[in-house]
Structure 1
Amino acid sequence: MSNDDKTLESKDLESKHLENKHRERMAARKAVMDAKIAQAVEERGVLILLKGNGKGKSSSAFGTMLRSVGHGKRCAVIQFIKGRTETGEYKFFKDHPQVDWHVMGHGFTWETQDREQDIEAAKKAWALAEELLKDPTYDMLVFDEMSYMFKYGYLDVEPVVVALEHRPLAQNVIITGRTMALPLQEVADTISVVQDERHAFRLGVKAQPGIEY
């Protein structure tokens, strides 16, 4: 056998060894995942909190809602701060038969500069949210930027927690906002943090449709 043949044979053996090791690792990982999946037997809706100072919290919520719509689910959105109707997501979903979209806010606090108006808007938005949390025909509710209502003191968090805990068993709820009140985090099923490492706005890039709104 020539040296070249020996080299090829050695590489082939090494390749087979690596392939076998990979299969062993994947088989072990699959066994672990299968065991975890087998333990998850409870069927109910979940409360998801999307927080952090990075871009993408609302986008993640609406993406999850889109997935739900794809499965024929009925959904509703309440926007607690955004007062605009020219956003891409609003334009896409506003006439969708499975989605009820409610723009309840008047804009960010530095735009409105009217605390009493903002508090009144928050109360109206919560009154609607409370009704939706009692309605079992809604499979998913998205309360966009609701967390700021507690941060600014516009709403009390305790009645919201009570309503969340007594909502229909199969109903899923997503709440977005940079910070989350601790009582919400204590009853949440899933909490994801969106970090901010860099943002185009700080580089001087103008907000654009399809990206920021």
Structure 2
Amino acid sequence: METRTNTERHRQRQQKIKERVDSRVAAATERKGIVLVFTGNGKGKSTAAFGTVTRAIGHGKTVGVAQFIKGQWDNGEYNTLHQHNVEFHIMGTGFTWETQNREEDIQAAHAVWQESKRMLADARYDLVVLDELTYMLAYHYLDIQEVIASIVNRPSHQSVVVTGRGCHSQLLDIADTVSEIRPVKHAFDSGIQAQSGIDW
């Protein structure tokens, strides 16, 4: 008897959840590209972005990627995704604390940003990823107003993913979806080296 009661209570709870979800689904009638931001101090922001890329190409979408703060080292996402016609533009100078050359970094950032602007203006792209863009704004390598304008004025169907720590408030304001990834533990803090296939 108690099992039947528990089963019925469970069914009623699930039915209420289903009704709420169905109502929200029915209310979501607008179709357009969205801006997603993956930010926060935890590991996994670029990983989330490239999961989105994989999903997009699985549906036959056209994708372009700009990677800021990436060097010339072996890059797992590039190795896989460029074989599926994902276009990559990689800054190539590496981490700013290693280059220690502001002018060189700014020039490299601007070169990748020009490609980013081109993709953001091109209706052939269904998804554009601006990986680690937040650092370019925090360091004032790129103009925030130009970045915002390029994202806002993109083709209406095009979605954009922005990643990086400390996302600028104006980017957060125009985003449709923002996920903040919080660190709980990180292997590197225990002295474990970054590993190919896991960290890059």
> Under TM normalisation by the shorter chain, which class is it?
over 0.9
TM-score (norm 1): 0.92
CA distance in 2, matches of 1:36, 1:96: 35
Q: Does 1:184 align with 2:190?
A: no
1:74 alignment counterpart: 62
Deviations 1:32-81 (A, max 9, x none): 01000001000000000100010000000000110010000010111011
AA of the residue aligned to 1:74: T
Q: How many residues align?
A: 200
- What SS is found at the alignment partner of 2:84? coil
Q: Does 1:172 align with 2:198?
A: no
- What SS is found at the alignment partner of 1:95? helix
Give the one of 76, 96, 109 matched to 2:84: 96
- What SS is found at the alignment partner of 2:125? coil
Identity of aligned residues (%): 44
CA distance in 1, matches of 2:26, 2:150: 31
Contact 1:49 1:185 in 2 (8 A): yes
Contact 2:96 2:105 in 1 (8 A): yes
Unaligned runs of 5+ in 1: 1-12
Larger radius of gyration: 1
1:127 shift after superposition: 1.0
- What SS is found at the alignment partner of 1:174? strand
RMSD (Å), alpha carbons: 0.9
CA distance in 2, matches of 1:176, 1:130: 16
Unaligned runs of 5+ in 2: none
1:85 shift after superposition: 4.5
2:136 alignment counterpart: 149
CA distance in 2, matches of 1:31, 1:69: 32
Give the one of 188, 195, 198 matched to 1:208: 195
Give the one of 53, 56, 63 matched to 2:51: 63
- What SS is found at the alignment partner of 2:199? coil
